[in-house]
Amino acid sequence: MPILKDKAQFVPIIYDEPYYILSVLNVVDALDHNRTIITNTTIRKAYFKEDIVKNQLIFQVPEGRSGTIYVTDELKNRIGNSKFKGHEFTEVWNSEDTIEAELESKLLFDKKIKEIENSNVLPMKWGIAYSLVESGKAVASGKWKIQKSINGNILLGQLTNDLAYEWTDPSYWPPILIA
C-alpha cells in the first residue's frame, strides 16, 4: 500500500497462501496525557492530540505495550474498500469528543456507583459472595462485579465510564476484593 511508505511495512509469512503481517514503524507521541486513562501498562481510554494525529494515517504510541495499532478514518475507509482480509477496527477515540461529554459520562458513572453502593444488600464476606456467584447469582460492590460465565468460569468485571462491564477471567483475585 504505497500511502503507508515509511509508516508501516508488510512482512510476508510462509503459509499455503501468501500472508502478510503489518509491522507499524510510525511511533508518535500523540496521547493527551491530561485525559488519557492508563492503568499499569494498559491504555484504558485514549485521547489524542488532534494537531498531531490529523497528519497520521497509521501509528502506535510509545506508551502502548500491547502492540495496538491506531489508524485514521481515512485509512480505515481505504482498507475497507480494498482486497485486504483479516482486519478488524474498533473506534477508540473520536476527535469530536468534548470535555463536557466526558464530564457528563463521569457524572453518570458516579451515579451508577452510588446506586450499587446504596442497594439494599448488606455487606458480606468473600466466601458468601463467592458461593452466591457459584450458584448463578451476580455480586457487585462499587465498580466491581463477579458472576459466572455460561461455561462455568467465575468472571471479574470492572464498570467502565460507558456503564458497561469490562470482563476478565482472572488468574488471581485482587486482595482488595477478598479482604
Please compute the mean of the pLDDT values over residues 142-166 and round it to a whole number.
90
Measure CA of the first residue to CA of the last residue in the chain; give whole Å. Answer: 54
How far from 6 is each of 26, 59, 74, 79, CA to CA, in Å? 8, 11, 17, 17
Give CB contacts under 8 A, 24+ apart, made by 15-20.
Answer: none
pLDDT of residue 104: 86
* Phi, psi of 13, rounded to the nearest 5 degrees: -120, 150
DSSP string, 80-112: HTSS--S--------TT--HHHHHHHHHHHHHH
User: If we measure between CA atoms, which residue out of 61, 69, 50 comes closest to residue 8?
Assistant: 69
Q: Distances from the Cα of 43 to the Cαs of 8, 37, 60, 78, 159, in angstroms?
A: 22, 6, 12, 26, 16
Neighbours of 153 (CB within 10 A): 11
**DSSP letter assigned to residue 54:** T
Q: Do residues 47 and 81 lie in contact, with contact meaning Cβ atoms separated by under 8 Å?
A: no
pTM: 0.57
pLDDT category at 120 given cuts 50, 70, 90 is: low
Coil, strand, or helix at residue 42?
strand
pLDDT (mean) for 14-43? 87
User: Among the listed ranges 23-37, 75-89, 90-104, 115-129, which one has the minimum average pLDDT value?
Assistant: 90-104
Higher pLDDT, 122 or 70: 70
In the predicted structure, residue 3 carries a pLDDT above the cut 80: no
The fraction of the chain above a pLDDT of 90, given in percent, is: 32
Read off the pLDDT of residues 158-167 as tens digits, 9 standing for 90 and up.
998 888 998 9
